Chains A and B, each alone.
Chain A
Amino acid sequence: MSWRPVKAVVGREMSKLFRQRARLVSAMVRPMIWLLVIGSGVGSMLQSQQQEGYLTFLVPGILAMTLLFAALLSALTLVYDKEFGVMRMMMIAPIAHYWIVLSKLIAATLTAMVQAILLLLLLVILGLIPVNIALILLAPALLTAMCCASIGGLIAVYSKSIDNFAVIMNFFIFPLFFLSGALYPVKQLPEFLRYVVLANPFSYGVDLLKHAVPNVNTDFSVTTDIIIVVSFTCVAILVACWQFSRESVHEPLFHRSNKR
């Protein structure tokens, strides 16, 4: 197996990412709104010391949010490519079909990392985190990005069309984010919600990022975070590859013309 087809799929996604500058800018706007508007708003209800602490607490959560949205939306290009027929160009190529999924997930991880690095730069420029913390955050960010990409891959291979996009946003992306401890400590949640957070693999990525920021309370140990994030990522990738390699998944692609 040559790496050239993988590089081609990844390269196509990256060139689209850098070409769509508005997408990159808007990807920075969302976390900054959360951090500066929501963070300041919620922070204003707290005492001054807690207020500063909440902004620091939000940094890993907001970084995780950027990774989640970027990786998931990038992985969902699997669905876009199916919908617009481009996937057939990849399916007819002499590569095993699971390599298409793997390539897309590598691209999704890189896309998320590009956006995470831009956000970290912005946070450093705004003086919200020091440079050394930004650099330390890169390693857990990479693991979290892979986890988010694998979640995206899993959703994408089970999605039939982009009509499901709103469903994906409302039923996957928002719950994954809000029930992850990114905005509040897991320990302070009601018990039934705590169980939901525990079942959410993204929670452990968020927690891993929290470990990199001093003075931020974490909910699990680094070991637990790494084991769960890596295990989930591997299983999700395997399931996504298996599902995508099933003929029934891509058969509608080849009947599209007949339905016109």
Chain B
Amino acid sequence: MPSNLAIRTQGLTKQYGQAFAVEQLDLEIEAGQFYGLLGPNGAGKSTTIHMLTTMTSATLGDAWIAGKKITDDPVAIRRTVGLVFQDSALDRTMSIDENLQFAAALYNLSPEQANARIDELLTVFGLQDQRNKKLVTLSGGQRRAIDIARGVLHKPKVLFLDEPTIGLDLPNRRSIWRFVEKLRRDEGMTIFLTTHYLEEAVACDHVDFIQNGRLEQGGTPADLIKQLAETILEIDTDKSENIVNQLASLFGDPIREDQHLSFKIIANDVDFSALQKTLGDQISSMQWRRPNLNDVYLWRFCAPDTMGSEK
């Protein structure tokens, strides 16, 4: 395994009975990389994380974290990784300090090391004055921050973030991402992210997609967006069949969501104003814009030729 790889998997598979949660996963993630694994619910994202953090064993295949095979010494692997779960793993009856001191002791940090690190992390999150507050009194965003602080107390080489901002409002999400960026910058941590908020994955160095346990090669978010289309055309109409008949030959089949149609347009010379006039009162609204990562995701998992392909 090349020494600069933080994570490598080879044919990693998790099977429950006849069903494959993850199938033949091959990954190579360089040290210090911000990696995103995107996919719909139940696609195998969390199972992948749980295998890589030794929380569940693979049915087949191998994986290495920071050059160490995960099955050789799971305890040593757990020292190398940090994991922030989808929902809090903290004890709500205890204070911030008690929770973090407890977690630090589990990682065998001395009280001095623990205090210094807790101070450092709480300062980053602006929670240093609330150290003795009970967790139950904190907001959702503050609790999430403490969860992340718990995950990085021991300065792991690889941090797994399993939908870390789920249920948080925008300011809290932005605060969490500023912290993650700081961790990457200051501590050189490799970040492995799964998220439903695709705009957050734009910051990733590389994203891959997973569906039905199978990895679909991705790329950098910028390349994926560029490869998808020049423009996304969105039309609201109650005459969707008419519109599709008129435009499918030009732009291909759209994604249909009730009365909403999305076309991806490769050409860069389309006169959308003229098109809008042509469609006239068949449409209630029309807009065209640059594609983003949400579109990449939608066209991967909701495009006409992928619908109904789920197992």
**Is the A/B pair a real complex?**
yes
Give per-residue flags for B75-99: 1 if the beta carbon is below 8 A from chain A beta carbons, else 0. Answer: 1101101010111111111100010
- A187 an interface residue at 8 Å Cβ cutoff? no
Residues of A within 8 A of B101 (CB): 8
Closest-CB distance, A145 to chain B (whole angstroms): 24
Q: How far is the CA of A204 from the CA of B107 in the complex (A)?
A: 39
Task: Select the residue from B76, B89, B98 with max chain A CB neighbours within 10 A.
Answer: B89
A89-B103, A89-B150, A94-B79 known; A256-B55 Cβ under 8 A:
no
A contact residues, total (Cβ < 8 Å): 31
Counting residue pairs across A and B whose Cβ atoms lie within 8 Å, the total is 82
Contact check: which of B42, B81, B91, B105 meets A258 at CB < 8 Å?
B42
Q: Is the CB of A91 within 8 A of B55?
A: yes
The answer for the CA separation of A256 and B162 in the assembled complex, in Å, is 13
Instruction: Tell me which residues from 63 to 109 in chain A have a Cβ below 8 Å from any Cβ of chain B.
Output: 84-86, 88-96
**For the complex, is B262 an interface residue (Cβ under 8 Å from A)?**
no
A191 interfacial by beta-carbon distance below 8 Å: no
SS class of chain B's interface: helix, strand, loop or mixed?
Answer: loop
Chain A contact residues: over half helix, strand or loop, or mixed?
helix
Given A254-B46, A258-B42: A89 in contact with B56 (beta carbons within 8 A): no
- A2/B56 in contact, CB under 8 A: no
Check A5–B85 contact: CB distance below 8 A.
no
CB atoms of B42 and A12 under 8 A apart = no
Residues of B within 8 A of A85 (CB): 85, 87-89
- B20 at the A interface (CB under 8 A): no
Q: Tell me which residues across on chain B come within 8 A of A258, comparing CB atoms.
A: 41-42, 46
User: In the complex, which residues 201-260 of chain A have their Cβ closer than 8 Å to any Cβ of chain B?
Assistant: 247, 250-251, 254-258, 260
Partner of B91 from A7, A84, A257 at Cβ < 8 Å:
A84
**Which residues on B sit within 8 Å (CB–CB) of A84?**
91-92
Q: Decide if A21 is an interface residue (CB 8 Å cutoff).
A: no
Inter-chain contact A5/B56, CB cutoff 8 Å: no
Chain B neighbourhood of A256, CB < 8 A: 87
Q: Which residues of A contact B214 (CB under 8 A)?
A: none
Contacts of A11 in B (CB 8 A): 105
Give Cα distance in the complex from A255 to B56, angstroms: 11
* Binary contact readout A1-31 vs B (1 if CB under 8 angstroms, 0 otherwise): 0101101110110011000000000000000
Q: Which residues of A contact B56 (CB under 8 A)?
A: 247, 251, 254
Beta-carbon nearest neighbor of A251 in chain B: B56
Interface residues of B in 28-78 (CB under 8 A from A): 41-42, 46, 50, 53, 55-57, 75-76, 78
Is A93 touching B41 in the complex (CB atoms < 8 A)?
Answer: no
Q: Which residues of A contact B93 (CB under 8 A)?
A: 16
Restricting to B205-247, which residues have a CB under 8 Å from any CB of A? none
- Whether A88 lies near B106 (C-beta < 8 A) is no
B108 within 8 A of A: yes
User: What residue in chain A is nearest B50 (Cβ atoms)?
Assistant: A254
| Chain B min CB distance to A260 (Å) | 7
In the complex, are the beta carbons of A8 and B46 less than 8 A apart? Answer: no
Q: Are B105 and A5 in contact (CB under 8 A)?
A: yes
How far is it, in angstroms, between the C-alpha of A233 and the C-alpha of B92 when the chains are bound? 32
Known contacts A94-B76, A258-B42; is A247 also within 8 Å of B106 by CB? no
Q: A84 CA to B92 CA in the complex, in Å?
A: 9
Once the chains are docked, how many angstroms separate the CA of A95 from the CA of B74? Answer: 9
Q: Is the CB of B108 within 8 A of A92?
A: no
| A-chain residues with CB within 8 Å of residue B88 when the two chains form the complex | 85
List, in ascending order, chain A residues with CB within 8 A of B105's CB.
4-5, 7-8, 11
Asked whether, in the complex, the Cβ of B91 is within 8 Å of the Cβ of A94, the reply is no
| Chain B residue nearest in CB terms to A12 | B102
**Additional A-B contacts beyond A5-B105, A89-B102 (10; CB < 8 A):** A5-B107, A7-B105, A85-B87, A91-B55, A92-B78, A93-B78, A94-B108, A96-B75, A254-B55, A258-B41
Contacts from B to A (Cβ < 8 Å): 41-42, 46, 50, 53, 55-57, 75-76, 78-79, 81, 83, 85-94, 98, 101-103, 105-108, 110, 150, 162-163
Pairs of residues from A and B, 10 with the lowest C-beta to C-beta distance, nearest first = A8-B105, A257-B86, A93-B106, A94-B79, A94-B78, A88-B89, A89-B89, A2-B108, A5-B106, A86-B91
5 contacts between A and B (CB under 8 A): A5-B107, A12-B94, A92-B55, A93-B78, A247-B57
